[in-house]
Amino acid sequence: MQERPLGGIRVLDLTNVLAGPYCSYQLMLLGAEVVKIEVPGQGDLARQLGPDPELNRGGLGASFLAQNAGKKSVELDLKDAAGRAAFESMVQGADVLLENFRAGVLDRLGFGWPRLRELNPRLVYCAISGFGQTGPMSQAPAYDQIIQGLSGMMSVTGTKETAPLRVGFPVCDTVGGLAAALHICAALAGRSRTGEGTFLDVSMLEAAVSAMGWAVSNYLVSGVAPEPMGTQNATAAPSGTFEAADGPLNIAANRQQQFETLCGLLDRPDLVGDDRFADRERRKLHRDELTHELNLALRRRTAGEWEDVLGAAGVPAARVTDVPQAVRLDQLEHRGFFTDLPFPDGSGRTLRVAGNGVLHDGEALRPTAPPPLLGQQNAEREDLAARWNGREEDTVMTRREAP
């Protein structure tokens, strides 16, 4: 693989918990040098989050370890004169500044966009917040679940009896982080032409509504409000979760040929000729009856067996796994999706972290170092700033001449 796409890019990361750290983790995997600026003695709140109380007490919560491999950590108090001066020096040499404070917090600290642009006209400044930097909700606090509920996402998750339900992982944080990473890369590409920096105002709410796709566009275009359908897909039938002999099986026979092939493999060719199931729209109207007939046939074999048989015939199908099963999938192992690193505390334990799902020239992008201890690079702060500002040689000479 050639040099990573963001090799040489320097990122100041002031973010906490997930949306921002997930964004900067993507940038790190792409080759950027990421320095976390953390509150002295406290650090990223995610250091205290996770299922292992001992790790949480040690500032290495699982939530932190998952998103911060390959980064550096420097403690700075932006309310302190020395901390502010050190921060300004790093800003002057940075390519990207990333934060996910509530709108206006960095401005009140004296580092709003006008001041940052004055310090570094080439800086790409990305602010991630729940609702964006402007508007009537810009000052409202927000976490992932708040965005899930307000975006309409929870209203279409579950069944008519159970909705609204929270999606089982922080999807809005993740989507917000991905949107930020995408636009940072775009801004860096634009800067290569114009030489000018950019202010990126990322709204998690807007990113979430955008990611909902058809659930939103069907209403905007056709006036049809989406409803929760549990494990079924509103756009086609049979498309959803069905019952194999040993557990659930997902099938997405969205095309007529796939439906006909499915019926043949289930020894139910009669379903193709049934007027209730003649075409996509008829099958959607009679979804429950079709599901009942398919389940009767599917219960003859296991989900794994049907996955092999249907997949080989071109009918999309797969088992429904839990997380422990999913992370052991041979496909992920083959692609090198996970990377094993030493635990940052020197305990000898192994830390396994996820990649980003993209191969570059056939290779997975991996972190080369474990997540940092709080303030692990404090002693290197001046060297980092000097290198970022092209003063590394001067710093080395000064040290050699010192008594």
Residues labelled as active-site residues:
173
DSSP letters along 187-211, please?
HHHHHHHH---EEEEEEHHHHHHHH
Residue type (1 letter), 182: L
Q: Copy the structure tokens of residue 335.
A: 């692609």
Phi, psi of 238 (to 5 degrees): -80, 120
Residue 398, Cβ density class (10 Å: 0-12 exposed, 13-18 middle, ≥19 buried): exposed
Chain-centroid distance of CA 6 in Å reads: 18
Strand order in the sheet with 33-38: 72-75, 33-38, 10-13, 96-99, 124-129, 198-203
Q: Copy the structure tokens of residue 308.
A: 């092999």
CA distance from start to end of the chain: 45
Residue 29, Cβ density class (10 Å: 0-12 exposed, 13-18 middle, ≥19 buried): buried
Q: Copy the structure tokens of residue 296.
A: 């009767």
Residue type (1 letter), 132: G
CA–CA separation, 130 vs 123, rounded Å?
23
Q: Which of 228, 232, 225 is closest to 161 using CA atoms?
A: 228
CA–CA separation, 284 vs 327, rounded Å?
34
Peptide bond into 5 cis (omega under 30): no
Peptide bond into 342 cis (omega under 30): no
Q: Copy the structure tokens of residue 54.
A: 């001992």
Helix (H, G, I), strand (E, B) or coil at 126: strand
